[in-house]
């Protein structure tokens, strides 16, 4: 219990540090604030065993919901990150906006799959933890690879149009 508490406290501090350093912003930043405020209260302070048992589902579910909400409100969370790599004059272009929606949708799928892996983990306690950990990291790696390839193709198309 001590290690779990310490981990949540350190992670909550890291969310603030990542906000200050602008590593996280937008919907994902707010999802982190909400999740860790909830975890600090329910796990660190109240020691709620149901929350402790379902922490993986709650964390990845929060990311999934925040990604979906960012799409629904018309501000896909990847837009904040993409703006760092795209000239300002292209921020309102249809291809840039479409790309932000596409990458945000891809990350929503990544978060959903990892959420479902955590649900399965709860119902299959006899399965080694390593299998779930490797599966979750593999899904995250696929998301990173997709984002890099998609962004690279979009950048190449943009440069070709400009020439």
Q: What is the pLDDT of residue 160?
A: 82
- Asked whether the predicted pLDDT for residue 1 surpasses 90, the reply is no
Q: What is the DSSP letter of 23?
A: S
Q: What pLDDT digit, counting tens, does each position of 108-133 carry?
A: 999 999 999 999 999 999 999 999 99
Q: Determine what percent of the chain is predicted with pLDDT higher than 90.
A: 85
Q: What is the pLDDT of residue 157?
A: 87
C-beta of residue 121 within 8 angstroms of C-beta of residue 127: yes
Q: What pLDDT digit, counting tens, does each position of 52-98 carry?
A: 999 999 999 999 999 999 999 999 999 999 998 899 999 999 999 99
pTM of the full predicted structure? Answer: 0.91
C-beta of residue 105 within 8 angstroms of C-beta of residue 111: no
Mean pLDDT of the chain: 94
The model's confidence at residue 13, banded by pLDDT at 50, 70 and 90, is: very high
Q: What is the pLDDT of residue 85?
A: 87
Taking phi over 0 as left and psi of -120 to 50 as alpha, with beta for the rest, 46 belongs to alpha
- B/e letters for 124-135, b = 16+ CB within 10 Å, e = fewer, are eeeeeeeebeee
> Which sequence spans correspond to the domains of the chain?
1-48, 54-162
Distance CA 7, CA 54 (A): 16
Tokens of 49: 């065993």
Q: What is the pLDDT of residue 155?
A: 86
| CA-to-CA dists, residue 43 to 9, 13, 23, angstroms | 10, 15, 26
- Asked whether the predicted pLDDT for residue 23 surpasses 90, the reply is no
- Asked whether the predicted pLDDT for residue 32 surpasses 90, the reply is yes
Q: What is the pLDDT of residue 161?
A: 78
């Amino acid at each position: 219990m001590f290690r779990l508490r310490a981990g949540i406290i350190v992670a909550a501090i890291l969310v603030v540090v990542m906000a200050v350093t602008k590593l996280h912003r937008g919907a994902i930043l707010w999802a982190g604030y909400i999740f860790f405020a909830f975890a600090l209260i329910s796990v660190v302070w109240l020691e709620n065993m149901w929350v402790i048992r379902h922490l993986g589902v709650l964390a990845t579910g929060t990311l999934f919901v925040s990604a979906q909400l960012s799409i629904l409100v018309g501000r896909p969370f990847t837009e904040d990150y993409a703006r760092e790599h795209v000239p300002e004059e292209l921020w309102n272009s249809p291809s840039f906006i479409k790309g932000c929606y596409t990458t945000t949708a891809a990350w929503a799928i990544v978060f959903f799959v990892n959420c479902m892996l955590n649900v399965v983990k709860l119902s299959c306690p006899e399965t080694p933890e390593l299998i779930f950990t490797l599966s979750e990291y593999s899904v995250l790696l696929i998301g990173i690879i997709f984002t890099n390839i998609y962004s690279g193709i979009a950048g190449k198309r943009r440069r070709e149009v400009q020439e």
